[in-house]
Structure formats: C-alpha cells, structure tokens
Chains A and B, each alone.
Chain A
Amino acid sequence: MKMIHGNIWKFGDGIDTDIIIPARHLVLPMEEMKKYAMEPLDPEFAGRVQPGDVIVAGRNFGCGSSREQAPAVLKALGIKAVVAKSFARIFFRNAINLGLVVVECPELADHVQTGNVIDIDPVAGKIRLPKQALEFSGSKLPDFLMEILAAGGLIAHLAQRG
C-alpha cells in the first residue's frame, strides 16, 4: 500500500456518526451528501478539506449508527486516513470495507493540531510528524483485513479473488 502524506484535520473524543453525516442527509446522492460531512461541528469542513488530508481524532471515533455513509463521505471528500485513539466497531469495519485507511494510535491526537503535516505507513502502522520530528506506532491490521484495504475495499477484493 502507498504511503500517505497529508495535512491534518483534528477532532476530539466521541465523534459520532450523526456528526460525521447527519441522518437527514443520508438519502442525498453522494456528491451532494459529502457537502454536509462534519456539519454540526464544523460547517466549513467539507468546503475546505483537500484530497489527501487526514483526520486525527480522540476516543471512540464513529460511534453510533452503522451508516456506511459515514466513512463514505470522508472518502468522497478525499480523506486518505483516519487516525484515532480508538474507533467504534462498526465504523472501523465499514472503513476497511470501503478502502479507507484507519489506524488506532492512542498518543497521536495529543501531539497535533489542524494543519500539521503527517506521514503514515498503513502496512507497518507507523506514523511520522515530519515538522515536529515525532514518530508513533499505530495499530497494524491482520493480514486478511490489510488485503481488503489494499484492494481498495471489500468489493474490489472479492472481484480480485474471482
């Protein structure tokens, strides 16, 4: 898998799926829906985020609903990875199924601000902050989940396997 290099958007603890994408927008076509990502916390997020950016957050990221639109809107906006202190179970699985890199790292969020630059090696679970010259070890996925992620998601993975 490719190394990820991007700018950070930082969020706090308990970012739930109603923040990532409020339920009233779930029926919109994706191109419309993605404009409302993170709207309750930061209405300008979707307009300002750049392809290649990375979200860094606190505990229990993605808690709440099973809506796959949550990782899907982040992916549609070009977010390349979410690094959180911990993830809610369903969000974590949905993200992998869509090919969105998710890394658990309990320390990172306490050392970064929005706008900092980050490098991630998804395979090794290594995270580097080049400006601060800091390195962190994040979670590594089991091989079979890494295969799904590397294929770009579950559907692509199933197609590859035939």
Chain B
Amino acid sequence: MGKTIVEKILNHAAGTTDDRAGEIVSAKVSRVMTNDAVAELTIEALNAMGKPPWNKDRIAVILDHYIPATTENAARIHKIMRDFTKEHNLHLFDQKGVCHQVMLENFVRPGDVIIGTDSHTCTYGGLGAFATGVGSTDGAAAMATGEIWLKIPETIRVELTGKLPEHVHPKDLILKVIGDLGADGATYKALQFSGQGAASISNAGRFTMCNMAIEAGAKTGIFEPDAVTAEYFKGQNNQGLFFKSDPDATYCKTMPVDLNRLTPRVARPWSVDDVVPVDTVQQIKIDQAFIGSCTNGRMEDLRIAARVLKGNKVASGVRLLVTPASDRIYRQCLEEKLMDIFIQAGAVICNPGCSACFGGQGMLWDGEVCIGTHNRNFRGRMGHKDAKVYLASPETVAISAITGHITDPRQ
C-alpha cells in the first residue's frame, strides 16, 4: 500500500519505514522558528526545561509582529529576544519581515520537518516540506531536543484540474476550498494540493494556499515538489528531498476542484469559511484596503496590485496600506518602481512585517470596513469588535481600493 507525501516525510524524520496516518511518531525537526508574539512564553518554557537550544544553526528567532516596537512591552520582549539569541548565538531576524517569508527565503527545503510557534507555519508546505504551528511549550521542547511527537495526519487530497482563469488567483482558490470544507473541516488532517492543475500554480501561489490550510483547521498544507519547486532552488546546492505521494496512497477524502470554473471570492466577516463569490457583495463600501501579510505580501501579489493601481487613485475616504512581506521584497519593489505606483495612487507603504493583518497597525474603529489580502477576519482581530473585515485576492483588494467599494476584478 502506498504512502502520502506527509507519511513519507514523517517516516523519514522519525527513522521509521512504515508508520501510517494515525500513528504517533517522534520526528527529528529540520528547523524551529519563533516570533515576538509568543517568544516570551517560549523562552520561559525553554529556561524552565533547563536545557540549552539543541542546535544553534537550526533555530530562527524573528521579530515581525510588533515592529518597530509598538509599545513599551513590545520593546521589553524584543530586548528579551535579542539577548536570548546573543546568549545562544542563534539566527536573529530583527525587523526583516514576516517570519514565514523570512523562513522561505532563508531556510525551508523540500522534505524538511519544520516547527514554528505560529499557526501559519504551514505555509512552507508550498515547497513540499512538512511544517506545522505549535504553542510555546511544544516549540521550546523542539528547541531543546530537536524532536517533536506528532500524530501522522490523514490527508485530504484536493485534486486540481484545469487552469485559473484571468482575474482569478490562488487566494480565490484557497478561499473556495476553506468555504467548502468549513473552518474545522480539515482539523487534524493534512491538505494536499495535487492533480494536473497544480503544475500551473506558482510557488508564491502555493505559499498563499498552504498558508491558509490552518483556516480549515488543517495540521498542514502541502504541494508535492515538482519542476516549479526546482525553479525556486535554481542554482542552489541543497534542494532538499522531493517526496511525492504514491499513486495508491490512501486519502480520507478527495475534493475535486475545476480551476477553469473558479470565480473571484471573498470571505465575509467574521469567519474565514464564510466564503461567497465577490459579485454577491459588490457595493459594500470600504474604509481601508490592506495588501500584504504572509498570505499575499510577495512580489507576485504586489505586481498584480501595482498593475491595477498604476495611473489610478485610491478612492476618496479610503486608506490603502501596502506592506511587503520582507525587506528583500521591499527592495525588489523599489527596483521595479512599484513603490512609485503605490505612492502615486495614494497608498501608505508600511515596513515589512505582520502589519495590519492582526491589528499591529492600521486598526479599525466601530463599524469600519476593511478588505485585505491577509488570512483571518476574526471579530476584534484588527481593532474594534464591530469592525468588519473581508478577505480577498490582491487584485480584488486593489480594484476595491480604487472604487471605494468591494469590486469584482473581472469588470
């Protein structure tokens, strides 16, 4: 009987050969990541365990949520993190961008097992790694031992056929999948994106999709590494291990999606699984538009936004925030003169980081409406409990910023 890619990676990491979904393994981890939202508890837990980090080269400590320090307490935690990394000589990324983008740019390899103390760690599945988010205690235990116990998840296979039509993006696709599965539809499971249609999805698109696997409750999202993945590592010596699911692997569910028939979607407040076609919510007036985050703050996303915004102005009364996901992307935007386009359109460019996604900046007041490219629209996440947040693709958000209301990009 064949194995899924997730079964193969976890067997490889556990030193076992035939463990299957449902079995618990102790897996060796390739990397551990933590960030400033949870670092204090993580460092406290590690200290309580009385052990030093197991491998200084394999741990990344990233300041991305409250940067530059937004409050006195943020500054306190940043100081704790800087001191901790100095003491143990760990990798420190100090205000260089969202942790997940930093990890993708520096560390993630196909076949890795990566543990991060952030739920969107699942993003790295876009490169064929098994990556999952944990809390501070589990993160600290992984830092101390280089291992973690995991139940090998069953896998839902999302079978992609066809090709995304013009104006329809990987964000629309993952919103559809989450809408169909529900916010707990993949709890304890892996979400594997495969099929002939997968080859037409770029690496950035794959990151967007795997990033949001957690919004259906999934333990991870994953693509089987292929020629698109190889392109990401072109010219690099270490390209990782390209595991693929066997043709006779067992799935707990298969979900076919015809990309040709997909249309632009939005998730309505206050649940990521409340997904509707964008044309059903047109005319909803917006106060703020946000383009950025670990979901959609990459070059591909910013180029799409720039194409829409070029020569246009943000609607009167609307605030547009653009946040590149990393400093590398920020510099690339400058080189490609995208920043000129954003600024001329009337956008505010924010420093690379988590930004408005969780209310780190660009917060909303009572009754205000935001449309954003990020991953969560929970009540109160971006400010007032009665503010409303819609999630959409970069193209839908950019066009909505110009018109001042939610707008179908196909028009």
Q: Taking the nearest CB of chain B, how far is it from the CB of A71, in angstroms?
A: 8
For the residues of B in contact with A, the DSSP-based class is: loop
Q: Taking the nearest CB of chain B, how far is it from the CB of A103, in angstroms?
A: 16
Number of interface residues, chain A, beta carbon within 8 A: 37
Residues of the A chain whose Cβ atoms lie less than 8 Å from the Cβ of B49: 155, 158
* Residue among A16, A18, A40, A67 making CB contact with B135, cutoff 8 Å: A67
Q: In the complex where A23-B358, A27-B73, A89-B217 touch, is A66 in contact with B137 (Cβ < 8 A)?
A: no
Question: Per-residue 0/1 for A57-71: is the Cβ within 8 Å of any B Cβ (1 yes, 0 no)?
Answer: 001100111111101
- A27-B66, A27-B76, A66-B133 known; 16 other A-B pairs, CB under 8 Å? A16-B379, A18-B379, A22-B381, A26-B37, A27-B37, A29-B73, A60-B184, A63-B183, A64-B214, A66-B119, A67-B135, A68-B38, A86-B184, A93-B134, A97-B137, A153-B137
Q: Is the CB of B359 within 8 A of A155?
A: no
Question: A residues bordering B, Cβ < 8 Å?
Answer: 14, 16, 18-19, 22-24, 26-29, 39-41, 59-60, 63-69, 71-72, 86, 88-90, 93-94, 97-98, 153-155, 158
Q: How far is the CA of A28 from the CA of B65 in the complex (A)?
A: 14
Task: Give the interface segment out of B40-48, B84-92, B194-202, B401-409.
Answer: B40-48
Q: How far is the CA of A155 from the CA of B41 in the complex (A)?
A: 12
Residues of the B chain whose Cβ atoms lie less than 8 Å from the Cβ of A59: 184
Number of interface residues, chain B, beta carbon within 8 A: 44
Residues of the A chain whose Cβ atoms lie less than 8 Å from the Cβ of B118: 65-66
Q: Is the CB of B136 within 8 A of A60?
A: no
Question: B residues bordering A, Cβ < 8 Å?
Answer: 36-38, 40-41, 45, 48-49, 65-66, 71, 73-74, 76-77, 116-119, 121, 133-138, 141, 183-184, 187-188, 214, 217, 219, 271, 358-360, 376, 378-381, 385
* Residue among A18, A27, A88, A89 making CB contact with B40, cutoff 8 Å: A27
Q: Is the CB of A90 within 8 A of B134?
A: yes
Residues of the B chain whose Cβ atoms lie less than 8 Å from the Cβ of A89: 187-188, 217, 219
Q: Is the CB of A22 within 8 A of B380?
A: yes
Q: How far is the CA of A96 from the CA of B137 in the complex (A)?
A: 10
Q: In the complex where A23-B358, A27-B66, A66-B117 touch, is A94 in contact with B76 (Cβ < 8 A)?
A: no
